[in-house]
Amino acid sequence: MQAVKQLGQYLGPYKFFTLIAPLLMVLEVTMDLIQPTIMQHMIDTGIANGDNRYVLNMFVWMLGSAVLGLIGGVGCSYYSSKAAIHFASDIRQALYEKMMTYSAKERDAFTTGKLITILTSDVESIQRAFMMTLRIFVRGPLLFIGAVIIVFVTARELFSILLIIVPLLVIAMYFFTKYSGVLYRRVQEAIDAVNTKLQENLAGIRVVKAFRRETQQVAQFGELNEALTKRFITAEQIVGVLVPFTMFVVNLGIVAALWLGAIKVDAGTLQVGVILAFINYLTIILNGLMSSSMVLMQIARALPSGERIVDVLNKEIAVKEAEHALTDPIKGAIDFDQVSYRYYETAEDVLKKISFSVKPGQTVGIIGKTGSGKSTLVKLLPRLFDPSGGEIRIDGKPLKSYSLATLREHIGFTSQKALLFSGPIEKNIRLGKDDATAEDLQQALEASCASEFVERLDKGLAHELSQGATNLSGGQKQRLALSRAFIRKPAILVLDDTTSALDSASEQQVQRAIATYYQDTTTFIVASKIASIQQADVILVLEDGDIVGQGTHQQLLQSNAHYQAIYASQQKAGEQG
């Protein structure tokens, strides 16, 4: 119910549509309800007495009520669609905006597949439930109550039949509706699993092909698809059983009406028109109950979807904006003070009380074995996540006191995996800085050694990248990712193993460009080769989350056993190579 209340806020701008749609439905239902009574009068008073004028009169009434009913029905459909579609669209937008604030931690907690299901299928489910509520929820109970009252007033002789049939129908529909909600929650969970698998396999299609795992992946997908199919069938079968069951009960009612009616007509206590009107009203009662239960079923399915949506919207973000956040320009002095980090509460620290200081414009090289914590350390700078212990300061002020926008504007970050978006190359680079000048763009391209290959492309900067930039080589992608970071002219530049995909000549050229164009930038270079960081002002040697060496290349080479070991192994590999 909390979910309904929260999502109800998104109805604000569509209050008018939400009110007018059920009102128009009331008009349609009223017209539907009076038609069998008009027909009854037409038969029992007009036709039975051969009064043609009366019959014509009733015909005009019938036509008028049908037209009014039509206006009500069409108007209700129009406004309910408008309200439900806009309502769902606003929720989708809010979900997307919230997801954009997620760090990897929140995204991992949900999984990408589940987030996609929530943004698509769950939103659609509440859109459908809301539209049906506006269209039918008023109609169902109104038809039902109206028809019961009219039967009580005009066909009391047959009312006892309703006293048996209606409770049977209501009890059956209550159980079907309740069970349907449980079954549909299971369907949504199965859709999550299918989407997660699909997303993972499409993203990793090259690996699947390279290792010839298509058959296994298809089989695994088949199992998940089969589970979804089974759950769907079970959920849908509920409706399949409900309809024939209710029809059977109503047909029993019609048989009872004909039998009881015939006896009473024979005895001269009932007119034929009353029996026909009763059967009509019985159908209307069934219609009313069926449509109410369909809406209730849809609502029962939408409630778990609503809860899932609200979970995403209310997810607390680990990385929070400070209350009076600083927007001061950043120079680039950085202090790590006893900084620790663990990915999960229960996991071990992957960074252990790390301390070091860097002056603005210095270059820091970070080297160490795989898994030693190098990437984790640099990801703390743009606050992709916050330390579990200790403090990071920039220009003497806590990192957390800066506004996230200011902080990230001053940091150029390139990750191990160059992530580019579909669209022209220029647009990708300008993601770093929308309003960069043409000269800035050119300088960034040259600094990252990207200009030569971009110039060779037919359309140059307008060259369209495919999804995931699969139409570029690894090195080309990495160069463009570097250009995107360079164009910012950031105060802090982070190259997380970025230059590994470049040949050594290009790598040296990038290093020279940093030294020339970005002298005032504090640069972090994470690398696996000593050659990539040899010129750094300070090199940190990491091992199992600890700093086991700190100094310049020469200092470490003379006095640090860990660095000496890395150097020796790389020299050896170089000689063998």
Q: Which of 8, 371, 460, 574 binds ligand ATP (CB under 6 A)?
A: 371
Residue number, 333 or 351, with CB nearest to ligand ATP: 351
Which two tokens mark 404?
């996230």
Rounded to a whole number of angstroms, the minimum distance from the CB of residue 481 to ligand ATP is 16
Q: What is the DSSP letter of 388?
A: S
132 near ligand ATP, judged by CB under 6 A:
no
Element (H, E) at 341: strand 334-341
Rounded to a whole number of angstroms, the minimum distance from the CB of residue 293 to ligand ATP is 46
Residue number, 204 or 361, with CB nearest to ligand ATP: 204
Alpha-carbon span 105 to 146, nearest angstrom = 55
Residue number, 253 or 373, with CB nearest to ligand ATP: 373
How many other C-beta atoms lie within 10 A of the C-beta of residue 378? Answer: 23
Rounded to a whole number of angstroms, the minimum distance from the CB of residue 370 to ligand ATP is 3
285 near ligand ATP, judged by CB under 6 A:
no
**Listed ranges 46-54, 194-202, 323-331, 367-375: which one lies at the site for ligand ATP (CB under 6 A):** 367-375
Rounded to a whole number of angstroms, the minimum distance from the CB of residue 534 to ligand ATP is 18
How many other C-beta atoms lie within 10 A of the C-beta of residue 231? Answer: 19
Residues in the interface with ligand ATP (CB under 6 A) total: 11
570 near ligand ATP, judged by CB under 6 A:
no
Q: What are 337's strand-pairing partners?
A: 391
The dihedral through the CA atoms of 166, 168, 174, 176 has a sign that is negative
Kindly identify the residues of this chain, within the stretch 180-239, that bind ligand ATP according to CB under 6 A.
none
Alpha-carbon span 23 to 15, nearest angstrom = 13
Residue number, 416 or 422, with CB nearest to ligand ATP: 416
Q: What share of the chain is helix, strand, coil (3-state, %, to 5)?
A: 70, 10, 20
**Listed ranges 7-15, 326-334, 363-371, 505-513: which one lies at the site for ligand ATP (CB under 6 A):** 363-371
Which residues, 6 or more positions from 167, have their beta carbon under 8 angstroms from its beta carbon?
Answer: none
Rounded to a whole number of angstroms, the minimum distance from the CB of residue 343 to ligand ATP is 4
How many other C-beta atoms lie within 10 A of the C-beta of residue 422? Answer: 14
343 near ligand ATP, judged by CB under 6 A:
yes
Q: What is the DSSP letter of 1?
A: -
Q: Return the closest-CA partner of residue 486 out of 414, 399, 558.
A: 414
Count of residues in the chain:
577
Rounded to a whole number of angstroms, the minimum distance from the CB of residue 305 to ligand ATP is 28
Alpha-carbon span 341 to 349, nearest angstrom = 5
**Listed ranges 89-97, 264-272, 304-312, 370-378: which one lies at the site for ligand ATP (CB under 6 A):** 370-378
**Listed ranges 25-33, 302-310, 365-373, 498-506: which one lies at the site for ligand ATP (CB under 6 A):** 365-373
Kindly identify the residues of this chain, within the stretch 43-82, that bind ligand ATP according to CB under 6 A.
none
Alpha-carbon span 275 to 445, nearest angstrom = 86
Alpha-carbon span 400 to 398, nearest angstrom = 5
370 near ligand ATP, judged by CB under 6 A:
yes
346 near ligand ATP, judged by CB under 6 A:
no
**Listed ranges 27-35, 208-216, 369-377, 458-466: which one lies at the site for ligand ATP (CB under 6 A):** 369-377
Rounded to a whole number of angstroms, the minimum distance from the CB of residue 245 to ligand ATP is 52
Rounded to a whole number of angstroms, the minimum distance from the CB of residue 325 to ligand ATP is 26
Q: Site mask, ligand ATP, residues 372-401, x = CB under 6 A?
A: xxxxx-------------------------
Alpha-carbon span 225 to 509, nearest angstrom = 51
350 near ligand ATP, judged by CB under 6 A:
yes
Q: Return the closest-CA partner of residue 250 out of 286, 294, 291.
A: 286
- Beta-strand (E) ranges in 139-261? none
Q: What is the DSSP letter of 317?
A: P
Alpha-carbon span 83 to 455, nearest angstrom = 51
Q: Site mask, ligand ATP, residues 88-107, x = CB under 6 A?
A: ----------------x---
Rounded to a whole number of angstroms, the minimum distance from the CB of residue 373 to ligand ATP is 4
Instruction: Using CB under 6 A, list all residues that contact ligand ATP.
Output: 104, 343, 350, 368, 370-376
